[in-house]
A and B are shown apart, each in its own frame.
Chain A
């Protein structure tokens, strides 16, 4: 790699800056070892960025631009000798001066520490430690545990404060729990996994486990030292101790003991903060020491895990609020506010008794520590909203008024936090009611300055400051923030506006149904919209009070705020602009004109600077916005259309698809057609600009300028086609099992033209979709054509006549080729050889045609049989019925391979067969679902209900036809499509199932996305329990457009889906909800909700598991919060590799020489453990270091054969 350029980092580090260098040097024997180690200087991949110590985040990372080869080799070659040196310090002094320019290797540093520790009483060695050894050691990202003995010795013997400070620093780094993974956590130059090395070198190895108890022993002794001269060291020792692994309960218990021990001594004498101010210099030494110790103890306590049940814990934290040290106060407040979330009552009681009387909380308002005030805001919010405190309105109102006062805080950070708290925005679990109430509070309530102020200030405040409506304060503050030049301030302000929009949307949606909240929609309408939006004068009127006054102004206040927000779009920072657009989307109301928003977005999108991830984020905002207000479907789809046409290359097809899907389901009967239209727009994307490089393949009709975006667009089209196929029936409400036209009559109408005319007059939506798909089936690129053919089959199977026949005919023609000329004038050559069969789809289509053939043949026979029986007036014999029934089942099985149909309802033989099959079933006591297919029915044993009667309408996921249909269209994740349900509750319930769908849709590997539907889930579950072939499972999203649509995979995956029920029915108890819902619809809902449990909050823009892949795909970036659960949505094989539980092993197929710092050399045949896969590379670990001395790194996937 690039070791071309001049100085390396190591040169910089080691070249001695000052004259002090003369004393130093490097070991003589450093040269040979460093020189040797070969080419493959590699480093563990996470190196240069890394935080310093895993548990301690806030550390540094030092990356550098140049190759670190030399240093690395040294580290690896010499660590072992360093470890040895730890035990038997060398006597020979080895410090020739001449080698100043040689990089100092880790082992040299380690050795010097050992030596200098022995002579720590000498000034020169102290100096050397401080100026050379310790600073250079900091560049390495972890510290060898074998250094611990020397460090401890230094700690005991050395007097020099700077040396000691470094010693505490390094001890903390050794303590922090990071060595285990062997991955570097510190910043800077990577170091190997010390523990692993120690294992190899059985003689001299020192592992963390060996030294940690000793370090803790010594540090805790220091932390308990009561000598006043010692207390600075005491604080540092305590600090270092907090880095100890908190998983060890012994250590933890000990730490608590120390901390509480200190607090017992120092916390009980309450002191006023004033006193500290008064005696800053040369004051009361004792009280200062006490406050220092208070600070140290509380800071340590803050780093320890919370102990909610412990009254002492709470007591100490509450005492902390009146400590003299501002940071101690901050930590105390943070601890209390976290405790308050768990047990608001206890906290309020503890605080209420003493703190309000002494005014300690009021004092925090004037404390010069922003974060302390932020913590206070959160605390006030939690307490004032706590249900547990409903009987104590006095306490609540106290905290509430404190919160309102924080709105006046000079710091934006605090003010914004207070606004968010008032708005009801609180961690990630949001509730619509809370939000709505938040909006109500913000718009209605007044800030009254507290009466318990001292008299003088009371007089003043009454004269100068009259009570102000909150909204006015907030608006003024926000407007001035938007005038700021600081990007963080702009970003934060836009975010606050966005949250306002969310709360407002919630208020609207709740206002519609829930009047108990006291939020009347009319009032809002009055406030917001019937006013002149530009009544600026009213806003400026300084003396408005009372609700009538605020009524005049909310609209105008908002209008002027939004004006300012819009101008912020001019900011050059894309992230700020994105936040502004999100804010605008949230502030948009369904019946406002969205021209302005549209034009803003349109002009924004033409800026090439937008990263794809950010655009997708905005799309998700649209999605969330829709969930909050389903009425906005049309507007939002319109905006989504802008995205699709303007930046087709950048947006993620899956995100867009999710939006379509949501809108389709949520839009209600009237919106369905619009939603479908929005989808088809993608198919009609403008043709390529002349002269564009993609001119050769006009199929895509892309204006995409580069191959990447052309590919993305292609995907988009595929997604649209697939979506159309899956959902057209749902959107058009046309189902075979509800068809009005008996197949017989359709068969009569063999004249195609008449048929089409009849069909389109009957159901224009479906006919339109059909036409579009037909066009795609022969004019798209091959991927699109395949997907289109599949989509058509799905529709053929699901639709009744005459659509089925129409498609059947079309498919036949397609298979034989020559359709193009016949069907339309579209001779769009896509530059591919069309193949002998015209469209090249013959092979693919033939099984589909076969299915339809079979169905028609069986229908014919049935009709013939029926005629025979009628003519001869003969009863159907049992055998005949049996044969009929078997045919029915067989066809059902085949059909199910292609797409989902409700087995209990679907009649492949046409409606006439229903009676006969029913007869047979009742005779033989076969449930409609025949065992395998409908497990829920069996499980609940109420199959009769399924057929005879619909369940009580109370069950929202009951047997509503619409549900079944929706579900059939893979849309019924919600299963809650009660037609009569108010829009909001429908969407809320819908969210319960669907909201979490969002995360998976844009998984890295789309092939197995769960959004495809339950059968994939089935297939997945099946896979997990019984080891089916992995290949099949991987393509379980067969119906998704991305699995280049090979029929084989689609079939096998559906087999997975079909087989699953048998497993499923064997243990029905695991799916609780299936008890109440008769059909596997509910059942499926149950299972999906159990998977997605706990993520069902409405209006959540960012479901937690909405992992990272948007970024991952484009920027190879992962959301750091992507909790492990997100991995469960990852593609089969990836999650398999990811799970640390069962690591995957493999062996190297070939020799591989690392080409970069983070790569790993392999020797063929070597055994490796595969950690995870990134972009065609495995991150693997080895048992022992190879040629390059590394234990872990990246290797190409093809070089390793997984087992």
Chain B
């Protein structure tokens, strides 16, 4: 039965990259269950004593996973094709950077949820339909404020 739960107080934050080329736009619903339990287990095995922003890597077939811990948040980025470990490491770096900027410091569960709306918008600018879009922090900030990407 698939009812794994996080065993320690951490939120679970997951991003998929590069799955656009599948027939399903993204990960089919029933596989998400498996993904979730796989990743939760991965995290439970490895993230217990991890330092903030220490990168971990895993792979399954040709899918790569890079994950890390940021305060109370477990961040997972899953990718394939051109999004290999290194590209994912870059993506996760951008994401953690933005989250830290928004929450001011490594987020607790509370601050993370307080800022959740803004985090969603930010992520919306970083990843767009499964393709990595913006990586430049200033640019992301401008776009979240509905300003043009390059100012004049």
Name A's B-contacting residues (CB within 8 A).
Answer: 2, 9, 12-13, 17, 45-46, 48-52, 54-65, 134-139, 161-162, 164-166, 168-169, 172, 177, 181, 183, 185, 187, 231-233, 235-236, 239, 242-243, 276, 282-283, 285, 288-289, 291-292, 295, 299, 302-303, 325, 327, 369-371, 374-375, 378, 411-413, 416-417, 427-428, 486-492, 495, 573, 575-576, 579, 609, 613, 617, 1102, 1106, 1108, 1111-1112, 1115-1124, 1156-1158, 1171-1172, 1174-1177, 1179, 1194
Contacts and interface: CB of A to CB of B under 8 A. Distances in A.
Given A13-B113, A374-B82, A295 B149 contact: yes
B133 A165 contact: no
B11 interface: yes
B28 to A, nearest CB: 8
A57 B20 contact: yes
B37 to A, nearest CB: 5
A1118 B109 CA distance: 29
B124 A169 contact: yes
Contact of B85 (A375, A492, A1158): A492
Given A45-B33, A50-B32, A1119-B60, A413 B129 contact: no
A1177 B1 CA distance: 7
Contact of A491 (B85, B114, B126): B85
Given A183-B29, A295-B149, 8 more contacts: A48-B12, A57-B15, A58-B127, A288-B151, A292-B148, A327-B133, A371-B87, A1119-B31
Contact of A161 (B87, B120, B132, B145): B145
B60 A1179 contact: no
A959 B109 CA distance: 70
B62 A1102 contact: yes
B31 A1118 contact: yes
A169 B46 CA distance: 34
Contacts of A413: 84, 86-87, 90
B30 A1172 contact: yes
Contact of B61 (A302, A488, A1121): A1121
22 contacts: A46-B32, A49-B35, A57-B130, A58-B16, A58-B126, A59-B16, A60-B119, A161-B146, A165-B144, A165-B146, A235-B148, A283-B152, A289-B152, A299-B133, A371-B132, A1111-B60, A1117-B37, A1120-B35, A1120-B78, A1120-B80, A1172-B30, A1176-B1
A59 B24 CA distance: 16
Contacts of A12: 109-110, 113-114
Contacts of A576: 57
Interface string B138-152: 000000111111111
A1116 B34 contact: yes
B20 to A, nearest CB: 7
A817 B63 CA distance: 54
Given A412-B86, A1106-B61, A60 B34 contact: no
Contacts, number: 301
Interface in B53-98: 55-64, 66, 78, 80-82, 84-90
Interface of B: 1-3, 5-6, 8-17, 19-20, 22-39, 41, 45-46, 55-64, 66, 78, 80-82, 84-90, 109-110, 113-121, 123-124, 126-135, 144-152
Contact of A239 (B5, B28, B64, B128): B128
Nearest to B32: A46
Chain A CB within 10 Å, residue with most, of B32, B64, B144: B32
Chain B CB within 10 Å, residue with most, of A172, A185, A242, A1116: A1116
Contacts of A164: 146
B87 A327 contact: no
Shortest 10 CB-CB distances between A and B: which pairs? A58-B127, A135-B117, A49-B36, A1117-B38, A57-B130, A1118-B34, A488-B85, A63-B12, A57-B16, A413-B86
Given A46-B29, A58-B15, A1115 B129 contact: no
B86 A139 contact: no
B61 A1157 contact: no
A166 B131 CA distance: 20
Contacts of A416: 84, 86
A489 B86 contact: yes
Contacts of B128: 56, 58, 239, 242, 299, 303
B141 to A, nearest CB: 12
A1117 B33 CA distance: 8
B123 A58 contact: yes
A490 to B, nearest CB: 8
A575 B129 contact: no
Nearest to A132: B117
A326 to B, nearest CB: 9
A1116 B37 contact: yes
Given A57-B130, A139-B116, A491-B85, A165 B121 contact: yes
Nearest to B17: A58
A137 B116 CA distance: 10
A575 B57 contact: yes
A57 B55 contact: no
A172 B123 CA distance: 14
A1161 to B, nearest CB: 16
A165 B35 CA distance: 31
A1120 B63 contact: yes
A165 B140 CA distance: 13
Contact of B26 (A56, A288, A492): A56
Contact of B3 (A55, A231, A609, A1158): A1158
Given A49-B35, A239-B128, A1108-B34, A60 B29 contact: no
Contact of A138 (B5, B78, B82, B116): B116
A55 B41 CA distance: 26
Contact of A325 (B37, B87, B132, B149): B149
B152 to A, nearest CB: 4
Contacts of A239: 128
Nearest to A139: B116
Nearest to B22: A1121
Contact of A63 (B11, B78, B144): B11
Contacts of B148: 231-232, 235, 288-289, 292
Given A185-B26, A370-B90, A1194 B1 contact: yes
Chain A CB within 10 Å, residue with most, of B1, B62, B89, B109: B1
Contacts of B36: 46, 48-50, 63
B61 to A, nearest CB: 5
Given A49-B35, A370-B87, A489-B86, A17 B114 contact: yes
B140 to A, nearest CB: 11
Given A60-B13, A1121-B63, A1111 B34 contact: yes
Contacts of B78: 1120
Chain A CB within 10 Å, residue with most, of B9, B12, B22: B12
B41 to A, nearest CB: 6
Contact of A49 (B1, B12, B57, B64): B12
Nearest to A239: B128
A1005 to B, nearest CB: 16
B123 A232 contact: no
B3 A1156 contact: yes
B27 A51 contact: yes
Given A165-B144, A288-B152, A413-B87, A1174 B33 contact: yes
Contacts of A52: 120
A72 to B, nearest CB: 16
Given A62-B12, A65-B10, A46 B33 contact: yes
B117 A492 contact: no
A302 B131 contact: yes
Contacts of A374: 82, 87
Contact of B60 (A165, A289, A1117): A1117
A331 B129 CA distance: 13
B89 A488 contact: yes
A60 B120 contact: yes
B116 to A, nearest CB: 6
Given A46-B29, A49-B32, A492-B86, A242 B114 contact: no
B18 to A, nearest CB: 8
